[in-house]
């Protein structure tokens, strides 16, 4: 069965500065290369979902500019339904400035632009798509009020919700958490949101307990090359990562979430298998440059698993 996914989120153009290392305070360094790629956490997740075979609908905003027109065309080419992507006439399309080190690690600065104009009204206009979905996904590069409205609609219709609380610079409201079925932070984001940095197994378990105490039944904390810590009503389990050489980690978490939603059964009966599929997709994504360009298609994920 093909999953139907609705994503409410951000659309950005990524400006990538290739550098040897991060500059020290007051230091000037040269970049070795400059490149651009399509991105934004929401758009990345939508592409990952579509490339893994899900029927994907997007709710978001772009500016009335070249970047906005470009991004809409890119999403259309992936087979993503963009009828609920609205053009803003007052703010530009969002942009990200990515400092990409030779190690593959990145630091990202966001200009939200039109992404911060995503409104509750935009969600209401997409009610039919939300109610017909298997999963609704959102993150924190668009307003929390719109995210909560989308999740409220989803839960009222019996639709599963997945929250990627990234970046972790907005306060997650009790309402949003109460409407969240699955939360997927990385270890840094989780520590920031809970106020408990993850340093060992005990703090990892305490982080998961924090979210579950606030109504989130399933917690997936991604731990980079250490894997994914999965906590459900039946217990906890660490699923190891697949070891690869990372070239660019931009969009790796988004590749994970989109792939997860495409593979996961709505009753969550195949949760562990879906997490492993998503880990495989993420491991392929970090081996390429850029967000959109590196997100794998389903056949590539299955081939990597077969050849492992």
pTM value?
A: 0.93
* Interatomic CA distance for residues 92 and 94, integer angstroms: 6
* Interatomic CA distance for residues 196 and 202, integer angstroms: 10
| Number of helices and strands in the chain (H, E) | 11, 13
Q: Is residue 27 part of a domain?
A: no
pLDDT digits (tens, 9 = 90+) for 142-192: 999 999 999 999 999 999 999 999 988 778 999 999 999 999 999 999 999
pLDDT digits (tens, 9 = 90+) for 254-293: 999 999 999 999 999 999 999 999 999 999 998 987 778 8
pLDDT bin (cut points 50, 70, 90) of residue 243 is confident
pLDDT bin (cut points 50, 70, 90) of residue 141 is very high
**Mind telling me the catalytic residues?**
254
190: tokens are 């989780």
Dihedrals phi, psi of 133, to nearest 5 degrees: -80, 160
Nearest to 7 by CA among 43, 39, 53, 54: 43
169 within 8 A of 191, measured Cβ to Cβ: no
What residues contact residue 262 under an 8 Å CB cut-off, 6+ apart? Answer: 3, 5, 48, 49, 52, 53, 54, 298
CATH number of the structural domain spanning residue 192: 3.40.1190.20
CA dihedral 148, 149, 152, 154 (to 10 degrees): -110
pLDDT bin (cut points 50, 70, 90) of residue 1 is confident
Q: Is residue 232 part of a domain?
A: yes
pLDDT in the model for residue 130? 98
DSSP code per residue over 292-308: GGGPPPHHHHHHHHHH-
pLDDT digits (tens, 9 = 90+) for 244-256: 888 878 789 999 9
pLDDT in the model for residue 152? 97
Residue 186: DSSP 8-state: B
Residue 207: DSSP 8-state: H
DSSP code per residue over 86-118: EEESSSPPEEEEEEEETTS-EEEEEE-GGGGG-
pLDDT digits (tens, 9 = 90+) for 81-111: 999 999 999 999 999 898 999 888 888 898 9
pLDDT in the model for residue 225? 86
Domain count, the chain: 1
pLDDT in the model for residue 37? 85
pLDDT digits (tens, 9 = 90+) for 40-96: 999 999 999 999 999 999 999 999 999 999 999 999 999 999 999 999 999 999 998
pLDDT in the model for residue 115? 97
What residues contact residue 232 under an 8 Å CB cut-off, 6+ apart? Answer: 217, 218, 219, 268, 271
What residues contact residue 302 under an 8 Å CB cut-off, 6+ apart? Answer: none
pLDDT in the model for residue 291? 77
Q: Which residue(s) pair with 137 in the sheet? A: 7, 162
Range from 12-16, 81-85, 185-189, 205-209 carrying the lowest mean pLDDT: 12-16
57: tokens are 């609908």
Q: Which residue has the higher pLDDT, 291 or 23?
A: 23
251 within 8 A of 275, measured Cβ to Cβ: no
* Interatomic CA distance for residues 270 and 225, integer angstroms: 23
Numbered residues of the known binding site for ATP: 186, 222-227, 253-254
Q: Is residue 188 part of a domain?
A: yes
* Interatomic CA distance for residues 94 and 210, integer angstroms: 32
* Interatomic CA distance for residues 6 and 135, integer angstroms: 6
For residue 216, what are the domain limits? 4-22+32-307
Numbered residues of the known binding site: 12-14, 40-44, 141, 186, 222-227, 248, 250, 253-254, 285, 288, 290, 294
pLDDT in the model for residue 250? 77
Question: Whole-number mean pLDDT of the chain?
Answer: 94
Question: How distant, in Å, are the alpha carbons of 19, 59, 64, 250 from that of 31?
Answer: 5, 35, 30, 17
* Interatomic CA distance for residues 56 and 286, integer angstroms: 23
Numbered residues of the known binding site for substrate: 12-14, 40-44, 141, 254
pLDDT in the model for residue 247? 84
* Interatomic CA distance for residues 236 and 275, integer angstroms: 13
């Amino acid at each position: 069965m093909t999953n139907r996914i609705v994503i409410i989120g951000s659309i950005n153009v990524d400006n990538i500065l290739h550098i040897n290392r991060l500059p020290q305070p007051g230091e000037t360094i040269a970049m070795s290369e400059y490149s651009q790629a399509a991105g934004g956490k929401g758009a990345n997740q939508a592409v990952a979902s579509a490339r893994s075979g899900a029927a994907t609908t997007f709710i978001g905003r772009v500016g009335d500019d070249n970047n906005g027109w470009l991004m809409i065309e890119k999403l259309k080419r992936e087979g993503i339904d963009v009828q609920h992507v609205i053009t803003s006439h007052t703010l530009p399309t969002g942009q990200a400035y990515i400092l990409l080190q030779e190690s593959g690690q990145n630091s990202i600065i966001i200009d939200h632009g039109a992404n911060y104009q995503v409104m509750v009204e935009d969600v209401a206009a997409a009610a039919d798509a939300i109610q017909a979905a298997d999963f609704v996904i959102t993150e924190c590069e668009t307003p929390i009020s719109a995210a909560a409205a989308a999740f409220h609609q989803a839960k009222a219709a019996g639709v599963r919700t997945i929250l990627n609380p990234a970046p972790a610079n907005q306060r997650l409201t009790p309402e949003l958490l109460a409407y969240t079925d699955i939360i997927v932070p990385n270890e840094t984001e989780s520590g920031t949101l809970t106020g408990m940095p993850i340093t060992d197994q005990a703090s990892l378990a305490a982080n998961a307990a924090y979210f579950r105490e606030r109504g989130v039944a399933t917690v997936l904390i991604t731990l980079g090359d250490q894997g994914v810590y999965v906590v459900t009503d039946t217990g906890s389990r660490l699923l190891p990562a697949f070891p690869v050489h990372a070239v660019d980690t931009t969009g790796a978490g988004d590749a994970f979430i989109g792939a997860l939603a495409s593979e996961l059964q709505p009753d969550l009966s195949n949760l562990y298998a879906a997490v492993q599929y998503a880990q495989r997709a993420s491991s392929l994504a970090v081996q390429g440059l850029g967000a959109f360009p590196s997100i794998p298609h389903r056949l590539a994920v299955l081939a990597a698993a077969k050849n492992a």
